[in-house]
Amino acid sequence: MDDMKALALLSGGLDSILAIKLIQNQDIKVVVLNLTSPFWESNKNMNWIKEITKKLKVPLVIIELKEDYLKVIRKPKYGYGKNMNPCVDCKIFMLKKAKEIAEKIGASFIFTGEVLDERPKSQNKKALEIIEKESGLKGKLLRPLSAKLLPEAEAERKGWIDREKLLDIKGRQRKKQMQLAKEFGINKYPSPGGGCLLTYKEFSDKVRDLFKHKEKVNIEDINMLKVGRHFRFGKNKIIVGRNEKENKQLLNLKQANDYYFEVPDCGSPVTILQGLKTKKTIEKTASITLHYSDNKKSKGLVKFGKEKLNRKITVSQLDKKELEKFRIR
């Protein structure tokens, strides 16, 4: 169908690549949409996304999810998984974005690489039905890898797609996908699993703490959660770099009203203090900075400031047990 166009959601994983190949094999033009999120490790794999779309000979549209997406993370209608991962609400949000793009480019239908029961939270039959309905795509969303196990989509009913050429894959085993990859000549693809930082307890704890203490959260706040050790002292947030790379990242992510701290004349972390700057919070932040520095004396000098390290304070090292009381885990 030379005039038929479909929009694919591409994560970069094998499932979505195979779904694209299945639709291309039915002579339908495919446009690929890749959504990037501050919570997805796949963002680091953008070179791979560009490489695979080039090999598949499909146009690539990239959309960065921003503050409106964070509202979904804060208050998901369908709740969280094991940690702070609102998988069902997240997929609904992404498909709403995809629907907007499909209308702009004149795509006749949208399809994904989802596999029935591959993910317990968002890919069971009930969840797939909810996602379709809430995204405004009821009966219109095609899932080529599991299509024969699901009700016919509009693209099948109208004869745009031959249902017999679609698949009936189910569950977490990937033998069928790997075999199909060989048949398609696909010998390079990322390993499955992981991907979303919200599925990890430690990161989820940081997100939960952030939402609790800050009403308006932005992408920079989320990016800060990925770097360093995090502490909560009352209403103040303290972030300590683990190495030189993180020190540089923290300085780049530092916001205008934040203070930063360092111990002079020795190996020292960069520490960021957010919130109200009182004598007590400055002392506590300096003590934490001294604790993680190479200065092992019981007392030491710590420099700090907003734009420059133009102030100094002498503090005692914080006891490890006391330190752990403030650690966000």
DSSP 146-194: TGGGSPPPHHHHTTSS-GGGS---BSS--HHHHHHHHHHT----PPPS-
User: In terms of Cα–Cα distance, which of 94, 10, 80, 82 is closest to 50?
Assistant: 10
Q: Which two tokens stand for residue 54?
A: 């080039």
pLDDT at 19: 97
| Interatomic CA distance for residues 50 and 315, integer angstroms | 51
Average pLDDT, the chain: 93
pLDDT at 192: 63
pLDDT at 42: 54
Q: Which residues contact 196 (CB under 8 A, 6 or more apart)?
A: 37, 39, 40, 41, 85
pLDDT at 319: 86
pLDDT at 171: 92
| Interatomic CA distance for residues 253 and 59, integer angstroms | 33
Strand, coil or helix: 277: coil
Sketch the domain layout of the chain as residue ranges. 5-184, 227-326
pLDDT at 275: 95
Class at the top of the CATH hierarchy for domain 5-184: alpha beta
Share of the chain above pLDDT 90, in %: 85
Q: What is the total residue count of the chain?
A: 329
Strand, coil or helix: 251: helix
pLDDT at 187: 86
Average pLDDT, stretch 250-276?
A: 96
pLDDT at 90: 95
H-helix or E-strand spanning residue 279: helix 279-292
- Distances in whole angstroms, Cα of residue 261 to Cα of each of 40, 161, 251, 266, 317: 30, 61, 10, 13, 14
Average pLDDT, stretch 279-298?
A: 96
Segment 173-219, tens digit of pLDDT:
889 999 999 999 988 887 665 578 999 999 999 999 999 999 999 99
Average pLDDT, stretch 46-67?
A: 92
pLDDT at 238: 98
- Can you tell me which residue has the tokens 């900075």? 289
The residue type of 34 is N
Segment 81-112, tens digit of pLDDT:
999 999 999 999 999 999 999 999 999 999 99
pTM (2 d.p.): 0.90
User: In terms of Cα–Cα distance, which of 30, 35, 3, 34 is closest to 19?
Assistant: 30
**Is residue 235's pLDDT more than 90?**
yes
Strand, coil or helix: 25: coil
H-helix or E-strand spanning residue 18: helix 14-24
pLDDT at 40: 83
Average pLDDT, stretch 265-280?
A: 97
| Interatomic CA distance for residues 185 and 273, integer angstroms | 52
pLDDT tier, 44 (very low <50, low <70, confident <90, very high otherwise): low
Sign of CA dihedral 197, 201, 203, 204: positive
User: In terms of Cα–Cα distance, which of 40, 120, 41 is closest to 88?
Assistant: 120
